[in-house]
A = this chain, B = another copy of it.
Amino acid sequence: MAERNPEKILLAHGGGGQMSDKLIREHILAALANETLSKLGDSADIKLPAGQIRFTTDSYVVKPLFFHGGNIGKLAICGTINDLAVTGARPIAVSLSLIIETGFEIALLDKILESIGQTAKENNVEIVTGDTKTVEPGAADGIFINTAGIGLPLENAQMGFDKIKAGDNVIINGTIADHGMTIMSQRKGLEFDTPLQSDCAALWPLIEQLLDNTNGVRFMRDPTRGGVAVTCNEIARTTAMGLELYEDKLPVNPAVRAAADMLGFDVLNIANEGKFIAVVAPEAAQKCVDICRAHPLGKEAAIIGKITKPTKTPLVELVTNIGGRRIVQMPYGRELPRIC
């Protein structure tokens, strides 16, 4: 009977035969069933009201798989929702593809699938199609997850680098570096009096409110790998304008600050998984912050900087607490492997 009810993933679970079928029906469908996915076709149909869709994909290799505030499954769904949300598209359908190392505990897989199902449900997106592969021990690290997502662009969301103007304000919806520092602290085995917690969250509910109730949002992006530093540098470089950040306005959880200092990281380079950077017209900035602060995902929102002016050498500068200025460089990239 062991083979009929295995506690660990076997190679045969990815072989396309009886065992694959069992895994899909008894675990994946048990957690994620909906009318479309349950057909178990090679592909899924999605009915659309509009003639344009938005499409995104990400693979997730985060280590550890379970962290304070989330796990790889929740992260995958939130990440794909956020990639659509920051472009002003309502996420509607997600694909789910698993690469699982033989020997992985099925109980852990079930926990991950449960998070995936719950996060999708909370955000009104459906997991509509999927795939499961298994690899031998040592050929992967537990489980890797890919999600691709389809969204419907909101008509009133006209955002893009090309909409950004000198004088625009830069807003963030809360504290920075929570996700990356949580992951790094757990990897290093660090414990703090106030445990760090990832900000892993799906941002569409808040972004939808912002876009529905204001006109001045000109650009949004989620500062994941490479953190606020990467997103701000991309804005400066692509618009060929300077960008100023105010250190005293940047919301940082004190425990995150302490962990970053201890481990030698700059919080500006650290990944977030429940934050957006928005560039907004100055006259709309305070209203945007107010809307954020009234929402659970934006309680510590703040205006953290501004777009200065067109320049041949577009830089991101941090105005420090003591009034100095330093350049915030594009990170090299090796700061935090396997953060998402």
Q: Hey, which bits of chain A sit against chain B, CB under 8 A? A: 10-21, 41-61, 63, 83-84, 86-87, 89, 93, 95-99, 128-131, 133-136, 138-141, 144, 146, 148-151, 153, 221-222, 224-226, 230, 271, 330-338
- The secondary-structure label for the interface of chain A is mixed
Q: What would be 9 A-B contacts, judged by CB atoms less than 8 Å apart?
A: A13-B333, A15-B225, A15-B335, A20-B333, A42-B84, A45-B54, A47-B51, A57-B131, A59-B131
Instruction: Say yes or no: B337 contacts A134, CB within 8 Å.
Output: yes
Closest to A16 in B: B225
Contact A332/B12 with A47-B51, A51-B48, A83-B42 known, Cβ cut-off 8 Å: yes
- Decide: A55 near B130, CB < 8 A? Known: A12-B333, A135-B61: no
Closest to A49 in B: B51
Kindly state the separation between the CA atoms of A150 and B14 in the bound complex, as whole angstroms: 24
Q: Which residues of B contact A332 (CB under 8 A)?
A: 12, 15, 17-19
Also in contact, A15 and B226, with CB within 8 A (given A42-B56, A52-B47, A55-B150): yes
A150 cross-chain contacts in B, Cβ below 8 A:
53, 55, 150
Residues of B within 8 A of A98 (CB): 59
* Contacting residue for A55 out of B11, B84, B128, CB 8 A: B128
* Copies of this chain, count: 2
Assess whether B59 is in contact with A333, with CB atoms less than 8 Å apart. Answer: no
User: B residues within 8 A CB of A141?
Assistant: 135, 139-140
Task: Please determine whether A95 and B334 come into contact, CB atoms closer than 8 angstroms.
Answer: no
A139 touches which of B14, B49, B59, B140 (Cβ 8 Å)? B140
**A53 is contacted by which of B21, B53, B144 (Cβ under 8 Å)?**
B53
B138 touches A41 (CB 8 A): no
A21 and B229 CA atoms in complex are apart in Å by 14
Q: A96-B57, A139-B141, A146-B57 are in contact. Are A45 and B153 (CB under 8 A)?
A: yes
- The residues of B that contact A86 with a CB separation of less than 8 Å are 42
Query: Which chain B residue shows the least CB distance to A51?
Result: B48
Are B20 and A136 in contact, with the CB atoms below 8 A? no
User: In chain B, what residue has the closest Cβ to A338?
Assistant: B135
Q: Which residues of B contact A61 (CB under 8 A)?
A: 99, 133, 135, 139-140
